[in-house]
Amino acid sequence: MDPAGDGQERARSQNTYVLNSEDEAELARLMHQDQMLNRHMGGLLPEFPAGPPLPEGGRVLDLACGPGGWALELAFAYPRVHVFGVDISQSIIEYANAQAWSRGLENVHFQVMNVMQPLDFPDASFDLINGRLLLGFMLPQAWPKLLAECRRLLKPGGVIRLTEAELPLTTSPALERLHALFAEALKKAGQSFSADGRHVGITPVLPELVRQAGFEEVRLRASAVEWSMGTDAYYAVFKDYLMLLELSQPFLLKMGMATQEELKRLVQQALAEMQQDKFCALYSLLTVWGYKPQ
């Protein structure tokens, strides 16, 4: 018997991430995406210009942390705060812990956990809980359970902070077609809030989900990353798309959205259109945060 192997197999069977989270290319993409968002969203916690609500010795939880980009940067910026990251992927957690060790960060720790299940922490453990771009695996019916779990884990007055996005708007016909196929595939897979499958649909409902979970003073902050040709963010987002367009094809094929040849043609056309001088694009994100009642 191999208990570790059984645990990894069980985790894989519970994994609803629409991309292959064990693919090394996806690990590289997530690392790149973390750096891109940390920079172009205005920092790690831009909602708190006077300083985040993190007392000395405070504790932060990063949900579905991936390779740990946000958690590692926060641990570096706030050395007197203890940061914990959880993710369903054993290999990604091993990578994140190796990064923490290589940087000499003793105040950040990563563990394997599925955030759609109860988390192995005591009540009132954290001052702040962060989640970013959970749309890639969260089922609509899992959100109330996750938010209830976050309320259990937060100290009175603690902050829940969630950042989600819709698919970017661009001037590329081929990329817009691929976005439409992806949104429709999410709807078909039962992983969308969209009424008609034309959008992901998470951003309109996220504030209400947080309020329904019992959090107070719920607020919103919108971020817009322009990645039109010639802008500062263009190459970073384009590089993300180079990987994403390849990695998303198995999901689109699995959901029967197109044939492999059709996808290949669309991807080639999209890559060409994204490199045109007149290409314009906007990536919109919404951060929602609220407080656990005292």
Tell me what pLDDT residue 40 has.
87
CB within 8 Å of 218: residues ≥ 6 apart: 207, 210, 211, 288, 289, 290
* Environment class of 200 (CB within 10 Å of its CB; exposed 0-12, middle 13-18, buried 19+): buried
The arithmetic mean of pLDDT across residues 169-190, rounded, is: 97
* Domains of the chain, earliest start first: 3-166+196-226+284-291 (3.40.50.150)
Confidence of residue 8 (pLDDT cuts 50, 70, 90): very low
User: Which of 7-21, 169-183, 200-214 is predicted with the least confidence, judged by mean pLDDT?
Assistant: 7-21
Identify the three-state secondary structure at position 129: strand
Tell me what pLDDT residue 57 has.
93
Task: Provide the β-strand partners of residue 63.
Answer: 131
Tell me what pLDDT residue 121 has.
97
**Angstrom distance (rounded) from CA 210 to CA 131:** 12
The arithmetic mean of pLDDT across residues 176-184, rounded, is: 97
Tell me what pLDDT residue 17 has.
84
Kind of pairing, strands 82-87 and 59-63? parallel
User: Which of 3-17, 225-239, 244-258 is predicted with the least confidence, judged by mean pLDDT?
Assistant: 3-17
**Angstrom distance (rounded) from CA 159 to CA 51:** 13
Whether pLDDT at 3 is above 60: no
**Angstrom distance (rounded) from CA 86 to CA 122:** 15
218, 290 in Cβ contact below 8 A? yes
270, 178 in Cβ contact below 8 A? yes
Whether pLDDT at 267 is above 80: yes
Nearest to 150 by CA among 223, 165, 139, 142: 142
Nearest to 254 by CA among 178, 185, 197: 185
CB within 8 Å of 6: residues ≥ 6 apart: none
**Angstrom distance (rounded) from CA 287 to CA 256:** 32
For 144, how many CA atoms within 13 A lie in the half-sphere containing its CB?
3
Tell me what pLDDT residue 14 has.
63
As a whole number of Å, the end-to-end CA separation of the chain is: 48
Residue 22, token pair as written in the block? 């064990």
108 phi and psi, to 5 degrees? -135, 140
**Angstrom distance (rounded) from CA 294 to CA 291:** 8
7 phi and psi, to 5 degrees? -65, -40
What is the average pLDDT value for the chain, to the nearest integer? Answer: 92
Residue 23, token pair as written in the block? 């693919």
pLDDT tens column, 38-85:
888 888 999 998 878 899 999 999 999 999 999 999 999 999 999 999
Residue 118, token pair as written in the block? 């109860």
Helices 24-40, 234-247: axis angle to 10 degrees equals 150
Tell me what pLDDT residue 22 has.
81
